[in-house]
Structure formats: C-alpha cells, structure tokens
Amino acid sequence: MDSIGIGLAGFGTVGSGVYKNLEANRALLAQRLGAEFEIRRIAVRGLAKPRSVPAPAGLFTTDLGELLTDPEIRVVVELIGGIDAALPFVRDAIRAGKIVITGNKALLAEHGAELFQLARERRTPIFYEAAVAGGIPIIKTVREAFIANRFESIHGILNGTSNYILTRMTDAGLDFADALAEAQSLGYAEADPTLDVNGWDAAHKAIILASLAYGFWVRSEDVYVAGIDRLTRDDVKFAAQLGYVVKLLSTIKADASSAIEVRVCPTLIPKSHVLASVHGVFNAVWLRGDVVGEALFYGRGAGQDPTASSVIADLAETVVALKSPRRCYGFTSHDLYGKLKPSEDAVSQFYLRLLVDDTPGVLAQIAGILGDAGIGISSVIQPESHEPGPLPLVLMIHDATFGRMRAAAAEIAALGCVKAEPTLLPVENFT
C-alpha cells in the first residue's frame, strides 16, 4: 500500500483536527483509498505552546522550509491563515512540485489568479475544498459534479458568525451588540470579529465560488461588500412585518448578456425561501444550473471537525492526482463569460429605512426625490407614536439600479427632516 507523506503547516483548530481525524480513521481511509497518509512534519510558530491534540514532539518544527525540502513529503497542507506567510510558502511549495491543499480563503480570493497560473505552469494541483463553507462539499460540486451546467445563480449564507448574530436578533429581539457578545461568549465569534461582521470573510468565499463557476478570476476591489454591523433590531422587525428575514447573503448571478454580478451584503429574503430557514452558525448554498435546476447544500460552515473533513477529502484527491496526473490543476479558465457587472448597474428591489421628523410634507419630499430619479415606491410603513421626536419611516422600493438608489438615498439623507443616515438593503426574490 502506498504511503503518502504530508507536511502540515499550522496546528491550530483545523490543523489539529486534521491530525486527530487522520489518526482516528486511518484504517477506514486506507481501505477506501488503497493508500496511507503519513504526517512527517508539522510546522508551527512556537514549540512550547500547549496542544489540545497530542502529537509526537519530533514531528514539530518552526521552519516551514523543512516541509519543502523533505523529498518524502509529497503534499503540503497550508492552514496557517492570512496572506503574508502563506503566499510565499504556497508559491514555493508549487515550485517544489508539492501538491498544495489550503483552506485559506483570503489567500485564494486575493491571489488565486497568480497561484493557479503557477500551478498550471508546474503541473501541480491546488485543492481548496475547506476554503468555502467548511464541511459542505461545494467546491467539488461546482467544479466536477455540475460541470455540465451553466450557472444561472448562486446564493449563499457563507459566514456562521453573522448568521448566528442575525438569528438571535430575529428570534430573541437582541440588538447587534448583545447578539455579538453572546456569539463571542459561546465561541462562535472571535475576540476581533471584524472580518465576520464587515462581510469580508463571506466575500472572500463568494469570490472563489464566482471565479470557479464563471471561469475568470473576480477581483476583490470590484465586489460590493457590506456588513451587518449597522443593522438594528428595528430593521429585523420591519423586515418580518413585510414577510422577509435579513441574512448576510452572497449573491452571484449572470444576466442575459453573461455579465456577472457579485455582491455580499445584508439582504431581505422572503420567509418562504429555503435560505430563510438557515439558522445559527450553519451555512447554506442554493444554486441554479441550466441542466440540474435548483440544488441546496447545507451544513456547518466552520469548526474543527467539519473543516478537517474537507481537508481530508482533498487529501483523498491527492491519491488520485499522484497516480493519474491531470490537466485540471484546481481552476479552469474559459471565455464564455469574462466581465463583471459594476455594482452600480445591478438591479434590485430595496428596503429603505429613515429616521424623520413627524411633520407634514416629509413623505412628499422623499417621494419627490425618488420620483425625479425614476424610482418607484411599492409600500410604506410608518409606526404611530405618542412620543415627540423623530419617527422611523420604511419604504419598499421597486426595481432600481444600485447606483441610482444609492444616489437618491444620499440626496434624501441631506434633507433637513432626515435625522440619521439611511439604511439601504437590497431585496432578493430569487427570480
């Protein structure tokens, strides 16, 4: 039976989970794959750090280079995170002819075009199932199982921390700060949750999915990204009254001219849609292909064991790749699409919440600005109040481009009767 030497870069939550589960399921994997995995070296930042998962001390090193110079190591697993150390390490691994497995979404989103070009030149594959949606096998599905499909749209809930916070704001009526504090106390949010709540963790995953589905690498600077940190429980409450829930939604879709829209932002989705029932820390991806139709993938999007499961699935792929060299090295470009639609040109319905003076003529001023921009109002909510002071005003807007809608919202914000920055959210009806 073949023995495949592995170099493991990183022994944090996921790295230790990979080691633990490889050891626990060694016999099962050997029977299914006809090969055994042997972790030969584990690169860490410091040798003195206590380890929650025990491993022989002789495996550990602080020198990433040892993973590249050992001729018995045929596969390197990059789980150190970030870009500064990971990028040169992955470059050098490919140049050294090592198959690379990575769960580093930021690395691939920002440098995927370069790395996959290098992989093609060196005929060395990169596998990255763990980079998107944790334990959900969405990369292999898009790349292989649905290879016959033109993807009409992909919508995803790709960040468990944000989804937990929004779930608690919806179900328990918490405000954002309290829901975030609860998520941190339960270990669902980091001490610094910035990338989760500002939308960029989900955006990196959406960039990878969009690039894979449409055959050209999407630049991060061309993607519209907004987080959940400005949402209030009033937004969640008003959405519910209107028949919607608020989710941090990754939206990827092609229009009739094959231009691709990619955005990640809080979005109102109908309560009747399947993604509305994705609660807590779970992730889901709902896609529509011209051959397969609609398909849903649901599961844990993070955590030690789900993510380790995806890394080990990629290790299984290396068995095939080592025995039967392939022409696909993890990403295949094509020219069937090739352009990204500017976010200003994307069309959506919208939810607009304002805080306004309770005086006559306010709605007329706001409607006038929208009317001048060619934007229609479909419904209005203004709760009654017996207290003096500004009141919330919620408008549901007919289809408009993001550019016209944002310009109109900025003009509305400048009115003297508007007392706070407007909240503007797209509405996705999945048509």
77-135 pLDDT, tens per residue?
A: 999 999 999 999 999 999 999 999 999 999 999 999 999 999 999 999 999 999 999 99
Mean pLDDT of the chain: 95
- Of residues 198 and 256, which shows the higher confidence score? 198
Q: Quick one: pLDDT at residue 146?
A: 96
Sequence ranges of the chain with CATH classification 3.30.70.260: 347-427
Q: Quick one: pLDDT at residue 386?
A: 65
Closest to 291 measured CA to CA, from 430, 137, 157, 145: 145
Q: pLDDT class for 58, splitting at 50, 70, 90?
A: very high
Distance CA 248, CA 163 (A): 7
Burial class (CB in 10 A: 0-12, 13-18, 19+), 290: exposed
Sequence ranges of the chain with CATH classification 3.40.50.720: 2-134+304-323
Full 3-state SS string of 168-196: HHHHCCCCHHHHHHHHHHCCCCCCCCHHH
- Using only C-alpha atoms, what is the Rg of the chain? 24
Is pTM, for the whole model, over 0.85?
yes
Residue with tokens 């309770």: 358
3-state secondary structure of 232: coil
Query: What confidence tens digit (pLDDT) does each residue in 359-384 have?
Result: 999 999 999 999 999 999 999 998 88
Distance CA 384, CA 193 (A): 36
In the CATH hierarchy, which top-level class contains the domain 138-300? alpha beta
114 residue type, one letter: E
Quote the DSSP letter at residue 418. B
Question: Could you confirm whether 339 is annotated as catalytic?
Answer: no
Query: What confidence tens digit (pLDDT) does each residue in 267-316 have?
Result: 999 999 999 999 999 999 999 999 999 999 999 988 899 999 999 999 99
Q: pLDDT class for 357, splitting at 50, 70, 90?
A: very high
Distance CA 318, CA 74 (A): 9
Residue with tokens 């979005």: 267
Q: Quick one: pLDDT at residue 392?
A: 95
Q: Quick one: pLDDT at residue 329?
A: 87
Q: Which fold has domain 2-134+304-323?
A: Rossmann fold (3.40.50)
Quote the DSSP letter at residue 375. -
User: Which superfamily, per CATH, for 347-427?
Assistant: ACT domain (3.30.70.260)
Query: What confidence tens digit (pLDDT) does each residue in 150-200 have?
Result: 999 999 999 999 999 999 999 999 999 999 999 999 999 999 999 999 999
**Stretch 257-262: mean pLDDT:** 92
Distance CA 314, CA 17 (A): 14
Sequence ranges of the chain with CATH classification 3.30.360.10: 138-300
Task: Give the percent of the chain with pLDDT over 70.
Answer: 100
Distance CA 301, CA 209 (A): 14
Catalytic residue among 98, 205, 253, 341: 205
Distance CA 340, CA 342 (A): 6
